[in-house]
Structures are given as C-alpha cells and as structure tokens.
C-alpha cells in the first residue's frame, strides 16, 4: 500500500495533477442539484465511452471497403467469438446514446439550465446533439447493407436539391458519380476520425464549462435569473447550501451510468446485433429501404410533404431549427427557470415529443407505401365472392391482377396508400367508380390505358358489390328519375 502511495507521489510531483483533480472532484454543487434528474449528462458521456471502446474493437475486424464490408460484418456476426455481441453493444449503445442525449437536452431545457451564464454550454450541447446524430447516420452507412446503400441514395437526393451547388455536393458526398467504394471510405473517415474528433473536442469544452460555471441549481418558481445578480446568488447558494460533488452527487451518476451500461448489455444479449440486411447489391431491387429508428420521423415527413414545399422545407427547416436551438439562450437567457412557470416551454417539449413520436410510429408502418406483394399474396375475402355473378368474380380477378390491392385493402389486408375498399360502393356510385378507375385522381393513377373496356366493366361490377349487408350502394338519384329507377339500378347485376 505504501509503495503505491510512493509511486503515486512520484508521478504527482511531476504531473502536478493531484491538487486540481481533487479540487474539481470536491467542487461545491447546490445540494438540491445532487438529484436523479441530473444524471443524464454523465450517462451520455458513459455511453460515448462504450461506443469508443466497442468501436475500436469492431475496427480490428471491419473492412471499410465496399466490396468487403458486408462480408466482414458477417464474419463478425458468425465467425468471431462474441463478435455479434460487440456489434450488438455498439448498435444498442448508439440507440441509448441518442436517447439519453435527447433526454438530457429536454431536462436542461425544462430546468432552464441554458440561461445566463450557461449559454455557451447549451450551444455546445446542441452541437453535441448534431454530432451524435452525425455518428448515428454515418454508423448506419458503415453497416453497408441494402438499407445503407439506398439510404445514401436518399441522402444524395436531398443534397442534390441545394440550389446551384447540388450536383457538386452529390459528387462530394458520394466521392464520385455513384454510391461505391469511395463513398464508404469517406463515411468511414467521417465516422471514425472526423466526427468523433469533433465530439471529443465539444465534450471537453462542454464539461469544462459545467465545472467552471457550476452545476445548474434546482429551479424554484419565483427565483428569477438576472444577469446583474445571478452569479452572486449562485455563489451564495453553493457557499451556504453547497455540498462537494464527490461524493454527494457523484454516486447517483455512477449508479445510473452502471444501470445504463447494464441495460445496453441486456438489450445486446437479448436482441442481438443490427443486421446487416441484404448485401449492398443495387441490382437486388426487391427491397424497401428504411432508415434506423432515429431517422424514421424524417423518412415519414418526406412522404407527406407536398412536392412544391418539399425542396424549400428540406433545405430551410434544418437550418432554421438548428439556428433556433443555438440562439435559444439569447432570446430566453433570463427570467424564470422552473418549468412550473414556463407553460410555453412545456408545450414545446410536448409538441415536439408528440410530433416526433407520431411520425416515428408512421415511419414504422409506412402506410403511404404500396404493399408490393399484396396482389399476389393476399386472397380476396371469401364473403366478397360468395353469391356473386360471373362478371363480378371476373372483376375480383382483375382487381387482384392489376395490383389494386397493393394500395387498397380488403378486410384489413393490403396497402394503406389508398382508402380501404370494403364499403366503397356506399361512397361512390357506379359512374363515379368508373370515373375513378379510368381517370384516377386524388393520388390514384389513371387505369384507363391499362384496362380493357371489359376489364374496367368487370372491376367496377365487383367494386359495386362492396357494401355492408343491408346498406344499399350509392346511386345517382337524378339518373334514377331520368331513366326510371328500375333501369338505373339493375344493369350489370
């Protein structure tokens, strides 16, 4: 024991780090801030540490070459002892890191910690969120599978829309004219060198600022932040009610970090690694590319934006969003910190959570996408064929064969792009059905050129039978009068 002490003294006599480290560890934090709400920052740092270690471990096997990356992931998954587990730790670690960074941000926002004098800490935090998301996206590319390949295509398509320099940006992003070896190499450089370098730099200054300016005090309603008086009040608080960070606050950080690490390990062991999916072969087009969880909401938004608004919004919304986040402390740098007195802040958080949550949910189910195999894999429900005429049954075959099912569901099965057709005859009369099928409209392609008159007649006859028992199909009352009710109602039946 004495030997260790002597070795320690030998080093400290030269490094001179013992005193500043001790002072840092024992710096006073407001007693109320030694709270379970204040553990997310350290937990984010812990997950980053895990990502660093597992990332280095993966890099000992991974080959950043478009021709070999996918194979090397297979080797990691199947041939190397516990390679799958290290991949799973890295993948789940990234999920946890993004989540914890977001929770940390929400907590800081709701507790008013971004206000004077911690503006720069907040701005660096925003940058840390961006580089974390940058790590998530580039990491998804390194898992060089079908999703990564076509995801890069989506990225290139978005980049191409930048006015004037779009085409150049695409080449710069891809490292050439197409997604290929050069693309993966540069994303490897981004994921392994550039972005982690930025991340480490930002983290150092972020943590330094936390130590220099002190941990945010627990917000109390009515305790107003004013530039003139805040620093004095804060030091009064730490002088009178302060406790040393170690051990009063740090034990919660340590326990929570341990809990997070254990959760990541449990998820990794239980759910295993992410992919890789199909090989990155562009000629295999039987694929429905989807981004990882954190970008699903963007993927969903892109399905709903009207074409005219898409490019302007794609190019301006992120810039405006990031600018608003960065500038937040400058237009709300003083005043109330407590969320109990900041209803707009609470509303913004709720709105953002509900919006992101809803779009993510939609991104999981992609109701806007045709179900490519619905026409060949999902039978017409038997009750829709029972007791039907030959023409109507013929119409059911046309309905199936012309892939109507890819976008329209029957009995809950099929695409959700268009409306479900189980009761379509109640909504549209025969003429309207004919018009809709032949001319399309309302986001439906026109089938006029793709259906022979006989096929169109048959499919309309089938659609006309789709109404609930005891509820008559829609009909044109004016036509009834003009032609006589019997004639108008009976043809084709």
Partner 1 sequence: MTPETVVSRRGMLVKIGMFFNLIVGGILAVPIVRYLMSPVARGRTGGYLDWLSLGGLDQFPAGQTRLATYRNPIRNGWDGETDDIPCWVRNIDGQKFQVFAINCAHLGCPVRWFPQSNLFMCPCHGGVYYQDGSHASGPPPRGLFQYTYKVEDGKLHIKAGETPTTGSPTASLTDRGPSCG
Q: By C-beta, is 41 or 363 nearer to partner 1?
A: 363
- Indicate left, alpha or beta for 82 from its phi (over 0: left) and psi (-120 to 50: alpha): left
- The answer to whether residue 170 forms part of the interface with partner 1 (CB under 8 A) is yes
Judged by CB under 8 A, the residue of 370, 395, 414, 473 near partner 1 is 370
Element housing 291 (H / E): none
Q: By C-beta, is 35 or 287 nearer to partner 1?
A: 287
What is the C-alpha to C-alpha distance for residues 398 and 386, in angstroms, rounded to an integer?
A: 17
What is the C-alpha to C-alpha distance for residues 149 and 156, in angstroms, rounded to an integer?
A: 11
> Taking Cα atoms as reference points, which of 408, 295, 419, 289 lies closest to residue 359?
295
What is the C-alpha to C-alpha distance for residues 430 and 384, in angstroms, rounded to an integer?
A: 18
Q: CB of 96 within 8 A of CB of 89?
A: no
- The answer to whether residue 150 forms part of the interface with partner 1 (CB under 8 A) is yes
Q: How many CB atoms lie within 10 A of CB 338?
A: 16
Q: By C-beta, is 406 or 465 nearer to partner 1?
A: 406
- The answer to whether residue 360 forms part of the interface with partner 1 (CB under 8 A) is no
Interaction residues for partner 1, span 284-303 (CB under 8 A): 285-289, 299, 302-303
Tell me the closest approach of the beta carbon of residue 174 to partner 1, in angstroms: 7
State the burial class of residue 243 (Cβ atoms within 10 Å of its Cβ: 0-12, 13-18, 19+).
middle
- The answer to whether residue 66 forms part of the interface with partner 1 (CB under 8 A) is yes
Judged by CB under 8 A, the residue of 103, 106, 134, 161 near partner 1 is 161
- The answer to whether residue 153 forms part of the interface with partner 1 (CB under 8 A) is yes
Q: CB of 275 within 8 A of CB of 144?
A: no
Q: By C-beta, is 52 or 302 nearer to partner 1?
A: 302
What is the C-alpha to C-alpha distance for residues 255 and 261, in angstroms, rounded to an integer?
A: 10
> Token pair of 434, please?
């004919």
- The answer to whether residue 167 forms part of the interface with partner 1 (CB under 8 A) is yes
The binding track of 389-428 with respect to partner 1, each residue x by CB under 8 A or -, is ------------xxxx-xx---------x-----------
Which span (47-55, 90-98, 230-238, 440-448) binds partner 1, by CB under 8 A?
A: 440-448
* Interface with partner 1 (CB under 8 A): 65-68, 70, 149-150, 153-154, 156-162, 166-168, 170-172, 174-182, 279-283, 285-289, 299, 302-303, 305, 307, 310-311, 368-370, 372, 375, 401-404, 406-407, 417, 440, 443-447, 449-450
């Amino acid at each position: 024991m004495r030997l260790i002490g002597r070795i320690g003294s030998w080093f400290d006599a030269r490094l001179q780090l013992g005193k500043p480290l001790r002072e840092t560890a024992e710096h006073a934090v407001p007693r109320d801030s030694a709270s379970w709400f204040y553990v997310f920052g350290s937990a984010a740092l812990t997950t980053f540490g895990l990502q660093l270690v597992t990332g280095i471990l993966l890099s000992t096997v991974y080959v950043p070459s478009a021709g070999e990356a996918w194979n090397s992931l297979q080797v990691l998954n199947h041939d190397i002892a516990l390679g799958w587990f290290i991949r799973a730790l890295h993948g789940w670690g990234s999920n946890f890191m993004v989540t914890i960074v977001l929770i940390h941000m929400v907590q800081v926002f709701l507790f008013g910690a971004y206000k004077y004098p911690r503006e720069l800490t907040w701005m660096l935090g925003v940058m840390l969120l961006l580089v974390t998301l940058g790590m998530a996206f580039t990491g998804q590319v390194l898992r060089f599978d079908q999703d990564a390949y076509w995801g890069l295509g989506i990225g290139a398509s978005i980049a191409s829309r930048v006015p004037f320099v779009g085409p150049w940006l695409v080449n710069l992003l891809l490292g050439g004219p197409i997604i290929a070896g050069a693309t993966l190499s540069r994303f490897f450089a981004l994921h392994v060198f550039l972005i982690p370098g930025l991340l480490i730099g930002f983290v150092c200054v972020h943590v330094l600022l936390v130590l220099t300016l002190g941990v945010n005090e627990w917000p109390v309603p009515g305790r107003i932040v004013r530039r003139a008086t805040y620093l004095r009040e804060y030091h009064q608080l730490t002088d009178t009610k302060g406790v040393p960070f170690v051990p009063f606050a740090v034990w919660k950080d340590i326990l929570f970090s341990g809990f997070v690490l254990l959760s990541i390990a449990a998820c990794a062991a239980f759910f295993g690694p992410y992919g890789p999916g199909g090989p990155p072969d562009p000629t295999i087009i039987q694929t429905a590319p989807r981004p990882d969880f954190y970008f699903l909401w963007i993927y969903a938004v892109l399905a709903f934006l009207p074409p005219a608004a898409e490019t302007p919004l794609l190019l301006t919304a992120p810039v405006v969003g990031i600018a608003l986040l960065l500038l937040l402390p400058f237009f709300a740098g003083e005043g109330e910190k407590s969320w109990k007195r900041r209803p707009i802040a609470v509303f913004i958080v709720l709105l953002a959570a509900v919006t992101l949550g809803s779009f993510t949910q939609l991104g999981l189910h992609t109701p806007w996408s045709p179900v490519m195999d619905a026409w060949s894999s999902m039978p017409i429900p038997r009750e829709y064929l029972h007791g039907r005429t030959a023409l109507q049954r013929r119409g059911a075959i046309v309905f199936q064969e012309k892939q109507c099912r890819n976008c329209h569901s029957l009995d809950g099965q099929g695409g959700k792009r268009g409306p479900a057709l189980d009761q379509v005859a109640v909504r549209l009369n025969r003429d309207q059905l004919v018009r809709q099928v032949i001319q399309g409209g309302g986001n439906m392609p026109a089938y006029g050129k793709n259906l022979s008159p006989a096929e169109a007649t048959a499919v309309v006859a089938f659609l006309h039978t789709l109404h609930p028992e005891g509820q008559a199909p829609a009909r044109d009352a004016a036509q009834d009068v003009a032609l006589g009710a019997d004639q108008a109602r009976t043809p084709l039946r």
